[in-house]
Structure 1
Amino acid sequence: MLVKAAAQTLAEQLAERFADRIRSRLLAPGTRLPSVRQCAQQQGVSPSTVVATYDRLLAMGLVEAHKNRGFYIRNQALVLTDKAQTATQSIANNDSSRLASATSGMPHVPVDAAALIRGMFHDPGGRPQPGMGAFPSEWLESNFMSAAVRRFCAGAELKALSLHYGEPAGDPGLRQALASRLNALGMTTTPQNIITTVGATHALDVVSRTLLRAGDFVMVEEPGWAVEFARLDALGMRILPVPRGPDGPDLAVMARYCELHHPKLFVSVSVFHNPTGYCLSPASAHRLLQLAHQHDFDVVEDDTYSHIAPDHMIRLCALDGLQRSIYVSGFAKILAPGWRVGYLAAPTHLVQRLLDTKLLGTLTTPALFEKALAWCISQGQLRRHAQQLRTRLDQARGRSVALALEAGCRFAAPPSGLFGWVDTGVDTDALAQRMLDKGYLLAPGALFHANHAPSTLMRINFCTTQEAQFWQVYAEVRAEMSRR
């Protein structure tokens, strides 16, 4: 809270609050700050205090003023660049070592998704966080995980697993279990087509670094996973956003992209798409694969939510038979985020190239956790755990949807899976700032668009939005915003 009697002025306190949130990326680059009048009303201070606050943020290089449009959070990459340029002006031309020191550590590109990622590690007030991207940790607790690790931590086995690198492609037992799992989903594959990775995001990175070069065009669903936009951008790819609808991606847009830009890759979430919850229809899947063969691009299917989805749901890789498609999944969402076990299944002709990329990046992956996971799968523990989680999620979704509707929200997509795609009727960037003051971290719709376009939508986690208290606060803040 702002305190009048504090050693700092109100403007200094407010500027420090904004600065902390900007530096920690809880407020993403490009976000518009409240107008002077709005901010004064929200914080209970005078407009002159807000003007002084924004002047301080301008002086720190954290925001920029756009004439007749307001104040926007600057890219921290640009802030660092400005500082480096200022430092360079004071350095002698022949002092190259000092110049290198002044410019080292600068990010290559902005990472707007940092606001969402940091929410995984940020806990304002100890409340369940609506913008959270995973199951709450207490939902994942089990006895069998510790039993699995203990099984491989005895004497000679632990020594063997600790003092030697694991198999380059991953633990053979785990790859056999994964092949059986994929065959049950309709994918005809073998352990030789599977490579384990340090989580599903690492699998996506291995694919990108193997198949793409800086400047290549990549099609990605929009709205889509903010981290994927940022990751591809950081690698120098040119992103082509493809609108995602109830049945799948907009195939007409994809066809046009193929004619104009000859993209190399399409990244898709077929089942329980993040953030909408949509699932791919058979007709869209067939036409999409026809486009891939016709225009010679590969498809990466991110099936991160596989374990909370029915097995009969359409998977592109099952229809394609791993010809032009690569399957990616992992266990951070369902079982053990800290184990960091993911994997990919690829066409035979790509396996060695993908494995080389993995070896260059991580050598091998931790054999201890891979063996423990293989045991959890073989004993049926993972299957039973997933079923319990699905049942609990179904119950949570029902409660969350009822509360959201009562609070005046409208679902832009039928509620399914882990996330809800909710229309609030107000700018969710501004809403997120207001709710952060109340101790709640939101996932505004702009984070799920490649160009961070303003949006009235937000993604909610059904597990963490079951409490009436959150929706009451939300309704109050939204009502205040609507009145202005």
Structure 2
Amino acid sequence: MLQRAATQTLTEQLAARFAMRIRDRLMAPGSRLPSVRQCAALHAVSPSTVVAAYDHLLAQGLVEARRNRGFYVRDWAKKLHPAGAGSAQADSLSIASTDPAEARRLNAPISAATLMRGMFHSGGSDRPQPGMGVLPPEWLDNDFMAAALQRVSSGHGLRDATVRYGDPQGDPALRRALADRLAEQGIAAVPAQIVTTVGATQALDIVSRTLLKPGDTVMVEEPGWSVEFARLSALGMRLLPVPRGPDGPDLAVMARYCEAHAGTRDAPRLFVSVSVLHNPTGYSLSPASAHQLLKLAQRHDFYVVEDDTYHHLVPDHATRVSQLDGLQRTIYVSGFAKILAPAWRIGFLAAPPALVEPLLDTKLLTTLTTPALLERALAQCIESEQLQHHAERVRTRLALARARSVHHARAAGCRFVTDPAGLFGWVDTGVDTDALALRLLDVGYLLAPGALFHATRAPSTLMRINFASAQDGEFWRQFQQARDAMAKSA
């Protein structure tokens, strides 16, 4: 809360709070600030204090006033200067305080910065964060990783892995272990088809940079991962959102995109999909949808990039496009950050043989190689089946957490839009979750509002919760208080 006995005035404190959130991109460009009345009620100050604080933000060039609509975080991609002859003073102040580099930084792509900073920045709170995209660190704690690292470092292992670059394609032992693991999932891939990467995110980036060029069209699932939307947009790609349903992507929409642009420069080149435990809905692909998707990809000559980041949280028999396709028109991407070692940053891709060399060339141009020592340790964890046993324990723990989180959410009056499954829940709160997120940030909780998961940001009453970190009853009490306060001030 704002402190009346502080050295700063209430106006200065309130302005500084919003300025920090804007500069840290916890408030995305174009998002609306609370109304003067709502903000005054939320912070227990007078409306005149809020007006003065918003004037401070205007003077800094961080927000803009829209007639009869309120105050909005400034969108630097649309304009560097406020329009209108009456804004000359704000113009000069904005230019003085914000250089072009700062303007570009403040105008982060759609929602990626908002989401990622939310994932890594807890706002000084040590509370469980329901908007997080990862498992709690204590869930990943184990002894076998350190033991494996010690084994591969013994003798000349540490020296050999340190003084020379490893295999650019990835440690051979890890690629063999990954090939065996993929075979257990029904995906036929030999070690020569596998390239290790710095996490699954780099694998997706390598695929995009290899197969696409600026201006190309990519189909993406919506709702979907906003970081992927922003990453592709930053590369200059044109995004075509495809609604995601319980059985898979809306194939009719995909067909219309392909037919409308057939034979032109705008024909879709790629479709990026999370087949199993889709983020944020928890949906998993059906065999029938996978089959039809492959027929569509073959007919219209595009690749399917299958992001299987959450594969450790689901049984092996779940349907994947790569199983049916045999890695002919699919590229399989996964990693270990979600289940084992976020800081090790080990991911991989498995691709059609003809694409391996071009993909490896792109990897060489970005990272040269990947950490051989950590890859060898991970190979031992896989080969000894310790990773598999660890994943089974995590799945059991997650099932219990999911049941508790679902109980709390429903008791708080929320409705699950999709059946709860996997790590994430897709929840309808009944209120604007962008505004709700700002209220809960004041009491130390970070949300993942529904608008973050759409290629074009729009107000939403949905939010994604992490079942592992949404078990906290105190969060749901604060959630209800914030939602009720919003209803009263509406």
Please, what TM-score do these two structures have when normalized by structure 1?
0.94
2:272 equivalent to 1:274: no
Correspondence for 2:398 among 390, 393, 398? 393
Q: Which moved more, 1:242-251 or 1:151-160?
A: 151-160
Superposed CA deviations along residues 170-213 of structure 1, whole A, max 9, x for unmatched, are 00000001001111111111000000000000000000000000
Q: Which amino acid aligns with 1:438?
A: V
User: Using the alignment, how far apart are the partners of 1:45 and 1:216 within structure 2?
Assistant: 50
**1:96-121, CA deviations, whole angstroms, 9 ceiling, x for partnerless residues?**
xxxxxx65677487322111111232
Q: Distance in 2 between matches of 1:453 and 1:103?
A: 27
Question: Which SS does the other structure have where 2:114 is aligned?
Answer: helix
Q: 1:155 deviation in Å? A: 3.7
Give the deviation of 1:3 after TM superposition.
Answer: 2.1
Q: Distance in 1 between matches of 2:5 and 2:247?
A: 58
Q: In structure 2, which of residues 284, 293, 296 is the aligned counterpart of residue 288 of structure 1? A: 293
Question: 2:114 corresponds to which residue?
Answer: 115
Residues 76, 103 of structure 2: 8 Å contact kept: no
Closer/same/farther in 2, CA of residues 114 and 249 from structure 1, 3 Å limit = same
Match of 2:469 in 1: 464
For the Cα contact (< 8 Å) 1:271–1:280, is it kept in 2? yes
Matched with 1:60 is 60
Pick which of 438-447 and 3-12 moved more: 3-12
C-alpha distance in structure 2 between counterparts of 1:348 and 1:25, whole Å = 41
Q: How far apart are residue 86 of structure 1 and its match?
A: 7.4
Deviation at 1:351, TM superposition (A): 0.5
Asked if 1:342 corresponds to 2:338, the answer is no
| Matching of residue 324 in structure 1 with residue 329 in structure 2 | yes
| Alignment match, 2:482 | 477
Equivalent residue, structure 2, for 1:162:
162
Counterparts of residues 33-182 of structure 1 (less than 5 Å): 33-75=33-75, 103=100, 107=104, 110-111=108-109, 112-124=111-123, 125-182=125-182
Cα distance between partner residues in 2 of 1:217 and 1:304: 23
- Summarize the Cα distance change of 1:402–1:451 in structure 2 as closer, same or farther, 3 Å threshold: same
Aligned with 2:444: secondary structure? coil
For 2:231 and 2:385, how far apart are their aligned partners in 1?
35
Deviation at 1:162, TM superposition (A): 0.3
Aligned counterpart, 1:365: 370
Tell me the SS of whatever aligns to 1:239: strand
Aligned residues: 472
Deviations 1:112-131 (A, max 9, x none): 21111112321232100010
Correspondence for 2:447: 442
Change (3 A) 1:136 1:180: same
Comparing 28-37 and 175-184, the one that deviates more: 28-37
CA distance in 2, matches of 1:80, 1:390: 49
Give the deviation of 1:55 after TM superposition. Answer: 1.2
Deviation of the 1:156 alpha carbon: 1.3
Q: How many Å separate the matches in 2 of 1:428 and 1:104?
A: 30
Residues 313-369 of structure 1, C-alpha deviations (whole Å, 9 max, x = no match): 110011111111100000000000000000000000100000000000000000010
Q: Which letter maps to 2:108?
A: P
Verify the 8 A CA contact 1:75 1:110 in the aligned structure 2.
Answer: no
Letter in 1 for 2:52: A
Shift of 1:76: 5.8
| 1:246 corresponds to | 246
Q: What percentage of residue pairs aligned between the two structures are identical? A: 66
Aligned to 1:404: 409
Distance in structure 1 (CA, Å) of the matches to 2:75 and 2:158: 46
SS in 2 for 1:387: helix
Work out the CA distance in 2 between the residues paired with 1:440 and 1:196: 35
| Corresponding position of 2:87 | none
The letter of the residue matching 1:375 is Q
In the alignment, the residues of structure 2 paired with residue 368 and residue 80 of structure 1 have an alpha-carbon distance, to the nearest angstrom, of 48
Change (3 A) 1:81 1:161: farther
Between 148-157 and 417-426, the greater mean CA deviation after superposition: 148-157
Partners of 1:80 and 1:339 lie apart in 2 by 40
Contiguous gaps of at least 5 residues in structure 1: 91-101
Shift of 1:68: 2.2
Aligned AA for 1:26?
Answer: L
Q: Structure 2: any 5+ residue segments left out of the alignment? A: 83-90, 262-266
**380-389 or 149-158: bigger deviation:** 149-158
Shift in Å, 1:77: 6.0
1:255–1:35 distance in 2 versus 1, CA, 3 Å: same
> Corresponding residue for 1:97?
none
Q: Which amino acid aligns with 2:196?
A: T
Point out the more displaced range, 1-10 or 412-421: 1-10
1:276 alignment partner AA: T
Deviation of 1:482 after TM superposition, in Å, equals 1.9
How far apart in 1 are the matches of 2:56 and 2:276?
46
Helix, strand or coil at the partner of 1:162: helix
The amino acid across from 2:361 in the alignment is D
Q: Distance in 2 between matches of 1:236 and 1:55?
A: 36
Q: Is the 8 A contact 1:218 1:240 kept in 2?
A: yes
CA distance in 2, matches of 1:284, 1:300: 15
**What CA distance in whole angstroms lies between the structure 2 residues aligned with 1:4 and 1:337?**
42
In structure 1, the residue matched to 2:437 is: 432
| Matches for 1:24-39 after TM superposition, within 5 Å | 24-39=24-39
Counterpart CA distance in 2 for 1:163 and 1:284 is 49
Aligned residue identity for 1:460: I
Q: CA deviation at 1:7?
A: 2.5
Contact residue 81 and residue 103 of structure 1 kept, 8 A: no
Distance 2:4 2:370 in 1: 54
CA distance in 1, matches of 2:39, 2:103: 32
Distance 1:240 1:279, change over 3 A: same
TM-score of the superposed pair, with normalisation by structure 2 = 0.93
Give 2:226's aligned residue: 226
Hey, what's the Cα distance between the residues in 2 that align with 1:59 and 1:296?
Answer: 52
Displacement after TM superposition at 1:141 (Å): 0.2
- Deviation of the 1:256 alpha carbon: 1.0
Q: Does structure 1 residue 215 correspond to structure 2 residue 215?
A: yes
- Could you tell me which amino acid in structure 1 is paired with residue 9 of structure 2? T
Q: How many Å separate the matches in 2 of 1:104 and 1:43?
A: 33
Determine if the alignment matches structure 1 residue 10 to structure 2 residue 10: yes
Structure 2 letter corresponding to 1:355: L
Contact kept, 8 Å, 1:81 with 1:106, in 2: the verdict is no
Map 1:249-264 onto structure 2 (within 5 A). Answer: 249-261=249-261, 262-264=267-269
